[in-house]
Amino acid sequence: MNLALDIQSLNVSIDKIPILRDVSISVPKGKMVALIGRNGAGKTTLMRAIMGLLPSKAAHMTADGQNIGKTAPHRLAAMGISYLPEDRRLIPSLTVEENILMPAWANHIEDTRKRLEWTYELMPEVAQFRSRRALQLSGGQQKLVALARALMMGQKLILLDEPFEGVAPVLSRRLTEVIGRLREHGLSVILSESDDTHSSDLVDVVFRIERGVVRADVEA
Ligand code: ATP
């Protein structure tokens, strides 16, 4: 099968304490996968391990067929893999557009303008406040900007860590719409949530994580 991400038997320990145990998870190309688990189950740790931000050991870890087991975060960005952390801090004194462009400056991508215009098409409201400083935005608006920023590099695979957490209902609906459209653009997505509230209508495959152990939902 054509897999955007394929992980077999991934283990992560922090301070010698095993946090993730024998985790296997795969994301088919162009599909959206949910990672559901309570607080402290290990969702963030798994995303950070995939992004090369934490040391991990895996029997197999590939993205689009390429080994990413020991790949530095900036290399993953160059491969079109991106991460929206739960704590999506923007730089308050920079404008919205400058914040969105930050990863592109840091990583050098060729079609920056085109990619920026694409994020604006996806989220026209962000284009409307592109010249405002990030500190002038509401929390919900900041979430959209952080998603736009992650989408600059995430041309193939994007990891969204609890994007709906702490977001008011109106904005949750808007975020659901935007995230739901990512597949139309060929993106593969991992979306984490503490329960199925928002992801159930969005995703193709569900993985559940409990105390560092992951299992796939098997359809009845
Ligand atoms: P949350 O939504 O609360 O962030 P989560 O599912 O993302 O939940 P993780 O943040 O991945 O969970 O945490 C998984 C486990 O690893 C928790 O028991 C947590 O206490 C532990 N853990 C994570 N980071 C560290 C760290 N730097 N030092 C010690 N323990 C950690």
CATH number of the domain where residue 156 is located: 3.40.50.300
Q: How far apart are CA 115 and CA 143, in angstroms?
A: 18
Q: What is the pLDDT of residue 220?
A: 44
For residue 50, the CA-to-ligand 1 centroid distance in Å is: 15
pLDDT computed for residue 71 by the predictor: 87
Q: What is the pLDDT of residues 63-119, one digit of tens each?
A: 999 999 888 888 898 899 999 998 878 999 999 999 999 988 888 777 899 999 999
How many structural domains comprise the chain? 1
Spatial separation of the C-alpha atoms in residues 151 and 198, rounded to whole Å: 20
pLDDT for 109: 76
Residue whose CA is at the smallest distance from ligand 1 atom 2: 39
State the residue for tokens 């992560």: 12
Q: Which of 61, 50, 85, 33 has its CA nearest to residue 216?
A: 33
Q: What local confidence, expressed as pLDDT, does residue 1 receive?
A: 62
Q: Is 47 in the pocket of ligand 1 (CB under 6 A)?
A: no
Which domain covers residue 201, as residue numbers? Answer: 3-219
Q: Please, where are the H alpha helices in 61-111?
A: 73-78, 96-107
Pocket test for ligand 1, best of 17, 20, 39 (most atoms within 8 A of CB): 39
Distance CA 32, CA 103 (A): 23
| Ligand 1 in reach of 149 Cβ (< 6 A) | no
Query: Which residues in the chain show pLDDT less than 70?
Result: 1, 219-220
Predicted pLDDT at 36: 96
Hey, what are 89's tokens? 């801090």
Distance of CA 63 to the CA centre of its chain: 14
Q: Which of 25, 44, 195, 213 to mutate to test the pocket of ligand 1 (most atoms within 8 A of CB)?
A: 44
